[in-house]
Chains A and B, each alone.
Chain A
Amino acid sequence: MRLILEKRADRSPFFAIASPFLALLLTLIAGGLIFVMRGINPLEGLYVYFVEPLTQLWSVEQLIVKAAPLVLIGVGLAVCYMANVWNIGAEGQLTMGAIAGGISPVMFPDWQDPSILVVMLIMGAMGGALYGAIPGLLKTRFNANEILTSLMLVYVAALFLDWLVRGPWRDPQGFNFPVTKTFAGWQLLPTLGGTIHLGALFALLACVALAFVMGKTLVGFEIKVTGSAPRAGRFAGFSRNRMVMLCFLLSGALAGLAGICEVASVVGKLQPQISPGYGFAAIIVAFLGRLNPLGVLFAGLLLALSYIGGEAAQVTLGISDKIAKVFQGILLFFILSCDTLILYRIKLEMGRVGALKAAE
């Protein structure tokens, strides 16, 4: 018995829409199996993980709070991947954004008026963009593989932050904990109600703006052509190098913005650990959202649910919240598998006799 792929004449419009949902369904089934293996009733497990968080107001708030950085980063990555530019170092750009944005509150703790918030946000986005520009520059100048360089820079950024908060930026009154002074007043993002902060609004705006850019402008068209038909792009006079830099600057800026928004709200200070892997989870967000800015919005909410469900499962079911990362990995696997159905028909072939019959 063999699996045979048969190319469709056209992209299947049905599966283009259905494949993320199919992937989600398969992930739920796989998740149920994991619960069974851990001796938990699968239906109860899935309910606690994926449904219960949506029934309470505070956890829906948490969902939006966690979705904000995922969407901000994911929408930038979606544009990158659309252009065939593989930025996988968003976690590092997030860290650098948090550091750059954190300069003013750490250096001037008494600076208390709205201007500091604006400065923090701009510096954060710039920090991320400049850090993202490094792999972009190395790619365009020296042809160095951007996947590897951007990832290496994640480790460098994490170690740099670690040094800062343990060394020069450590709060002298912090009982020797590796943290900076806690941000206060105008150094924190205003909330929009409950715990939801301005970051959620930024995420929403970024999605709408990028949906417009990708769908209605020449730059968006250039990005898509460079990604899907590089030869055609060259003939049209589009500069591949310009696109690479643009994508890295854009996705870096958004990741940096997400970084400063995190430390200026949920975390409230700089410390060695500022993100539970948002930069990597955002890769899944980009793919689950079909690299479409509006799709990313929903995908970000779903990935946020996977974080919150993990916490809920830990509390209610006594199962490690590490299961969240497993669900995220499985989900990406199924998304990529199901996307095959858009371009191909999958057939099971029984032995050689079947193959001969099919050929007749």
Chain B
Amino acid sequence: MSQPTAQPLTGRLIFEKGTRESRCIEPPALDVPEIDLAEALDGAVRAEPPALAAVTEVDIARHYEHLASANFGVDTGFYPLGSCTMKYNAKVAEQACRLPGFAGAHPYQPEETAQGVLELMAGLADALAEVAGFPAVTLAPAAGAHGELTALMCFRAYHAANGDPRRRVIIPDSAHGTNPATVAMCGYEVTTVPSDARGGVDMDALRATLDTDVAALMLTNPNTLGLFDENILAITEAVHAVGALAYCDGANLNAILGKSRPGDMGFDALHINLHKTFGTPHGGGGPGAGPVCVTDALAPYLPGPLVERRDDGTFGLTWPERSIGRVRSFLGNVGVLVRAYAYIRALGGDGLAAVSEQAVLSANYLKERLRGAYELPYDRTCMHEFVLSGRRLRKEHGVRTLDVAKRLLDYGIHPPTVYFPLIVEEAIMIEPTETEGLETLDRFAEVMLRIAEEAAENPDLLHEAPLTTPVRRLDEARAVKQPDLAWRPDA
């Protein structure tokens, strides 16, 4: 045996552990008549047994325990990932969705036996409508980007019904990448408009490109720079003046709860990321929920079925008159909806407004502590997040934003979003969220200031970071070019 080491966390896959003879269960002896498998399956029986993992029970437990301990989540440490909003998921919401009536509900059970779930969905739709300022809501989309797609499909159906199909959708250059992807998926063409010096939409450029071929504008407000667009009413008015629709990417709704409403800003539709605004889990890619709110004019096109509150006080399912159809099986990811409803009811209206106040205060606090050590290209009071630039560190010390991000890992902090939005060079996008206490914010600020000092004193330290993590710096270029995604027994 070579040097003693603690078992490396990332060493081996479960398939590489144990021996072919390792077993963790002994099935009981056969006590039913044996049938001929080959005959029963019409010959579709594999000749070789599958290469399943073969380990002892305790080794399975250890394997997953090690993986779990190598994971980093918001319950592990600070996770200020701008735009993504890695806020704490309240445990009370987890409890709520595990109540047997919700957890055990089945999509095929008769409506009259699922009144509780349906009432909750109707209540959630009402709450979202009130928060966002729209009359109609679908809870079906399974994620924010899915909500975007749903809304643009409704836009398409609306323009088609008016005999006025249009070709273009306008998107600012600070937008999330999902916006142009949605546009392309819907068969429209993207027109990009630049941002002005204050980080909002360049009004002259917008007016210059608006014509009757524009189907919609997609805008995030507050935008990805964490700035509220001061011209929002003029923007939606100009869009409507050419017969186009205004779509709000609601990714940043968590900054304006109880303060301002996209419906009142003149938007025609909005998606809401329940995980960003209402504290549901990100879920590692799913399940999520991206409800869509729309105006009365667009309500007939919403996907179905919708939950309806009937005159006799019961709840049932209904289809909008000119519905674009289903966008998700059954009623969407209902477990996520239960969590969001629990979050909303636990906080109430005043509590939701306090969420946004705290998120905005925390972001501005960090912004003020970090200005100076890092550049602040759009120097305005921010909303729930802000974007720094590492340009000067790069110029003066040859230290890139990527190096700063990697160094944060050594301090046990998940790096913020980097290199987004694209209009900020060496961007560092920080979103502390409302759930972090002052002690955590102060420690993060001190670590960021310390890293800026390290960049000057010992740039190579940052180039080599992280030094303390289970794996060191990964070859990101090779990961893209030669992705090795599947384990094969003979590889």
B is bound to A: no
Q: Could you list which residues of chain B lie within 8 angstroms of chain A, going by C-beta atoms?
A: none
Q: Could you list which residues of chain A lie within 8 angstroms of chain B, going by C-beta atoms?
A: none
